[in-house]
Amino acid sequence: MNALIIVDVQNDFLPQGRLAVPEGDLVIPVINGLQAGYDLVVATQDWHPANHLSFASQHPGASLFEKIELDGLEQVLWPDHCIQGTPGAAFAEMLDTRSVSAIFRKGMDTRLDSYSGFFDNGHRKSTGLAAYLRDMAVSEVHVCGLAADFCVFFTAMDSLTAGFHTGILTAATKAIDAGTFAEKLQRFSAQGGKIL
């Protein structure tokens, strides 16, 4: 079986959102059109408590996008975004979620950021996504959504590590920084990932 993972297509990552991905809204019709081609469709959702320590607002005197160390890991300080239960954390209204069989929420531990849909950034806690895909007899995974250079990339890398044949659907994702994403795609390919 093959599966499509739709990563974080949420209001806060769209234009006018709190952590907007340039042209992030343009991937939604592409993702909607892709879903029928998969045996299984799942989604991830950034779901932060309001006091999440990845937020610059939780570090007095810190600047947005500054890098700090948090619990032994490098941490980018983001704008407050995708706060549990807020409109910004909701899936984009235009996203067709009727085929989504399961939603995996991430970033709920105050001290751990979670770019990947599989694990937090330190690989300390699993979301259960890999076990779910295995239980559903999935062997191939394609990843799309937002943002290409962070949550899509790290989800795809963890999918490879978990043993799934994995591809990134480049037409169905947008990056915060296209140059960074190009470098990360090279890393992904070197690990055996497919660029689709």
What b-and-e string marks burial along 53-62, b requiring 16 or more CB atoms within 10 Å of the CB? bbbbeeeeee
Phi/psi at 67 (nearest 5 deg)? -105, 130
Asked if residue 141 lies in contact with residue 132, where contact means CB atoms within 8 angstroms, the answer is no
Let me know: does 13 contact 147? Beta carbons within 8 Å.
yes
| Six-digit token string for 142 | 């394609």
Given 12, 82, 106, 144, the catalytic residue:
106
Q: Is 174 a catalytic residue?
A: no
82 given a catalytic annotation: no
Tell me which of 25, 46, 82, 151 is the catalytic residue. 151
The span from the CA of 88 to the CA of 191, in Å, is 34
Q: Which residue, chain included where needed, has tokens 């079986």?
A: 1
Please identify which of the residues 8, 12, 25, 46 carries the catalytic annotation.
8
**Angle separating helix axes 153-161 and 178-190, nearest 10 degrees:** 10
The question of whether 125 is a catalytic residue gets the answer no
Residues tagged active-site: 8, 106, 151
